[in-house]
Every structure is written in C-alpha cells, then in structure tokens.
Amino acid sequence: MGGQAKNKKKNKPKRKDNRQNRDGGLVDLSPQERMKVRMHEKAKKKTAEKYSVQQLLEKTQEYMDSFDFEMAGLFYMSPDVGHSKYMYLGQIHTGQEAVDYYTKGIQVLLSVLDKQETEVRSLPCAAQAGASGTTDESDEIPSRKDVSVAYCSLAEIYLTDLCMEEGAADKCRGFIEKALQYHHDNPEALQLMASYLFSTERNQEGKEYLLKSVGMWLPAQKQSAASSTTEEETQNEIPPYESRITTAKLLIESEEYEMAVDVLEGLLEEDDEVVQVWYLSGWVCYLQWEKAKQHQEREGSEAMEENEELKALQEAARSYLTNAKKVYISRHLKLYSKLRCDDQPMLEHAEQLLGELGGEIEEEDEDPTVDDDYEPCSDDEEKAEAPMEH
C-alpha cells in the first residue's frame, strides 16, 4: 500500500509536465500569463456544458457592457456558433472593424441556413412543413430576414463611416441588393435603397423605394394604434426607433409632410423624451405653414390672419419646437456649461424658427406633454442622431 502511494506521488509531476508540453510550454511563461492560459483552458472545457448559446451571448454582452473585455473573451469561445455576438460587436464598433464583425456574422448565418435547408430537403415532403418547429426555443434560429438585416448594417456603414472609401457607393448598393435578395419586403432595406438613391441624386426613384418601405409598416401601425392592440407580428415588422427617425427625415426631404407627421406622432407616442423627434415635428409643421402661406398668396384668398389652417399649423409648430427646447434644456442642463452638445445646432435652428413663428408658447399655454418634474437622463440612454441639414 505504502509503495503504491509513493509511486502515485512520483507520477503526478510527470502528468503535469505532459500537460504543459501539450499546452505549448507554460514553463516559458510568467506566472500571470500561465494563470490566464489556465483560466482560458478551463473556460473552454466548462462553458460548453454550463451555458447554452443564448446564455453565452448574454454573458459576453454583460462583460462587454462593464468593459471587462478579458472576461468577455472567455465566453467568446465558439467562433462558428451564434451570429448574434458578431451583430452586437458590429454595432459597438465603427468603420472597417464593424465591417469585419458583420461579415463574420453573415458567414455564420449563411452556414447555418445552408445546413438547415440541406436537412429540410432530406426529409420526406410531409415532414418538411413542420421541420422548422423542431428546434429548441432556446437555440438561435436564424432566418433569411436576419441575413437581410445584417447586409443592411453593412450597407449603412458605407453610407456613413466609410462613405469616403474608394468604391464605397458600389459596395453600399451591392449590400442593399443582397439584403433585398434575402428579404425583398424588408422595410429597412427598401429605405436604405432610398437613402442611397437620394445620395446619388436619383430622387424620384428614391422616393418610390421610400414610399414602398413606409407602406410596409405604417398602415398596420396606425391601425394597431387606433384599436389599442399590440399584435406581436405587427410590432416585429415596425423598424427600430432610430430607423423611423431617418424615415421622417427622408419623408420631409421628399415633401411627404403628412406621412412624416404620422411617423413622428408614432415616435412621440412611443417615447416623448427624444429632442430630435420634437424638433422634426416642429420643422415639418413649419414647412407646411410656409407652403400654405405661399399657396394662399398665389390664390389671393382670405387674409392670412383669418385662415384657420395657417393658424393651426403655426401654433402646432410653436408647440413642438417649444417642447424640443424644453426637453433639450432638461436633459442637458447639468452638462451644458461644461461642453457643447451634439444637438446644439438643432436647438439654434429651433430658436430661429420660433422667432419666425412668434416666439415660444407661454408657460400657461404650453402643451403639458413634457412634465415639469422631468429629470435628465444620462447620455447613454439616448443615441441622438445629428440634425437635418437645411
């Protein structure tokens, strides 16, 4: 017994040495580096058993949100499983880095979709219809729409961050066409094509794509709002909040003012603490007011001060712009004396418009939508877009 125990003790260092050799020679590393390698290897062995793909993604995001990138790396172990992590990394990076992440995510998506289609084709016809429902709900089930959205993200980078790169316009158009190839009714892809065409001064063609995009979701949203229902299918077809802000801008540029008002009203109903939405609402009412004035002058109809439509548009513009200024001040009051905020030009334009409209609405007449007890939020809670160029 004693001899056996002694032999086991002698053998332990040998097993440890073999392990080190297989790991590439931990002996040459510092104690801190060896510890990192061991943690990495330990995580590799355990995370696959302990966490599902969705949990791995949540853990990665949790550590990245707290800027603990080293720990995030420990959960980022399966490069060919799960496209969502690449989509997330693409969102928080810019330029070529974002392109690389989105490209990898698309590769993962296409690989999974190809595998799914191969499996479905191998099934009997009767079983193919229900094949998509056999996957565990906790798994990541990609679709052609996911591929379309990913291509939209790539196209948007070449419309913004990398717009000055050589061949940016061609790459942008190519990615938008890919997005429409995988989901021809994707409102975001249609809107991106409209933005691309506007940027190349093909305005009429761009307007057609824009109206088709808005037509895919706005009527259903208005109907849902009128009936006070929130059907999940309807909500899934509505583009993200920031994308709809861009929709409103493009509609205003296309002089589709009434449709822009419908989009902006939906945004305010969803979140009335975004300065830019109040500003755009005031701007579109101002443009309608200007257009109505010009029409009246041409027609030589009744006096402008007696025209109810003009008065209503003027008061609406004043109300929206007053609220834009109030929300802006509430949100940035503490920071305003320390730095110039990104939406400062928007505030200055709002003040200019208010001057033409007769000034801010007095406190007692002001629309009570923005509460006096409104507390500023952190800048992280709102990713405000740059104001429109005029």
- pLDDT, tens only, 317-376: 999 999 988 888 877 654 544 444 556 788 888 888 888 888 888 765 444 444 444 444
Domain count, the chain: 1
Q: Which structure tokens are listed for 184?
A: 């021809």
103: confidence class by pLDDT, cuts 50, 70, 90: very high
- pLDDT, tens only, 59-84: 666 766 666 665 565 445 566 667 77
**Residue 377 within a domain:** yes
- pLDDT, tens only, 118-131: 877 776 654 554 55
**Residue 266 within a domain:** yes
242: confidence class by pLDDT, cuts 50, 70, 90: very high
- Residue ranges making up the domain that contains 327: 238-390
**Residue 327 within a domain:** yes
**Residue 370 within a domain:** yes
**Residue 264 within a domain:** yes
pTM (2 d.p.): 0.67
**Residue 217 within a domain:** no
**Residue 278 within a domain:** yes
**Residue 303 within a domain:** yes
